[in-house]
Amino acid sequence: MPAMEGFVDFDPDENIPSLKGKVIFITGGTAGLGASSIKALAAHNPAHIYFSGRNAHAGQNVISEIKCSHPSASLTFIQMDLSSLSSVKAASNQFIHDHLDILMCNAGIMAHPPALSKDGYEIHIAVNHLGHEMLIKQLLPTLLRTAELPDSDVRIINLTSIGYRGHPRSGISFNELSTTTSKLIMGPWMRYGQSKLANILYASALARHHPSVTSVSVHPGVVETGLVTNLSFLRRTAIYVINWFMGIEIMDEKKGEYSQLWCAAGAKKGELVNGGFYIPVGVERTSTLDKKGRSEGLGERVWEWTEGVLGKH
C-alpha cells in the first residue's frame, strides 16, 4: 500500500521496544498473521505469550520454531474453538498470570457458507465477534487490574477489515443472527461484513465502557493468508480482481503483520486513539468509516446484544 499522510515507517525488528515483563495473548496463533505476530513479538523478550487455536499439533510446531531462534521464549498454547462459547470460557481458565498487557483478537473466518455455531449463532458473528468478546469478558478483570498498575499500558487489538463495508443496510441484521435463512443478497460477504462491523463497533464501545484500557480496531490490509487462499477459486479471484481495480496491494504475511504489531507494541504509550480504527501502517481513519461504523447508538446496541448473549453462557 503506498504511503499516505500519517503513514508510519515501521519495522517490527527495529521499532518494537523491549517487551520485558509484558504478558501477551493472541488468538488464531497457529498460522497466518497470528503465528507471524507471535514470532515477531517473541523476539523482544516478553515475559510470556499465550496463543490459541484449534490445532494442538500446529500450536506445538509454532512453539518449536520460536524456540529454535529464541530458546528462552516463554509460550503457552491454549486449544480453543471460537465457535463455541463454552470452549472459549473453559479455555480462558488456562490463563494463569496475574497481569495481561496485550490482547490481540486476531482469529477470523471469511465468506463461509450459511451455518450456525454450536451455540446457534450465525457462524461469522460467532467466530469473528462473539468468541472474542467471551474471551475479553473472561480476561477483562485481569486487564483492568493491570491497567491500575504504575506505568501500565494495556491494549486490546481487534482485527477487522475494510470488508465491513459489505454490511447490510441496517448495519447489523440482528433478526438473522440465529438463522441460516438469510435475506441478504450477497449472503457470505454481507454476513462477513456485519461481523467485521461488529468488531469495529465493539472496540469503540470497549473504549467508552472501560477507558483505562486502550481498545482499537485494525484493518491489516489485504493479506495473502489462509483467510484468502482457502476460499473457493471464484471467491479468491473476486478478491484479487476487486483489489486490483481499487489499486490495493495484496500483501504477504510479513508485511501484513505490521499494522497490528504497530498498534500492539510499536506505538508509544498514549499514541493510539482509544476506540480508533486503524489502517496500514499506524494510520487512524475513524473519520472515514461509514455512518454505521461511526454510530455510537448502533455500537451500544451491539454491546447490549453481546452482553445478553454472553450472559447466557
User: So which residues are the catalytic ones?
Assistant: 192, 196
Q: What is the DSSP string of 171-190?
A: SS-GGGTT-S----TTHHHH
Task: Collect all residues with Cβ–Cβ distance below 8 Å to 193 and sequence separation of at least 6.
Answer: 163, 164, 165, 166, 167, 168
> How far from 21 is each of 47, 101, 141, 153, CA to CA, in Å?
5, 9, 19, 12
For residue 145, the tally of other CB atoms under 10 A from its CB is 14
Count of CB atoms situated within 10 Å of the CB of 44: 16
CB atoms within 10 A of CB 308: 9
CA dihedral 52, 105, 195, 285 (to 10 degrees): -160
Alpha-carbon distance 45 to 169, whole Å?
Answer: 46
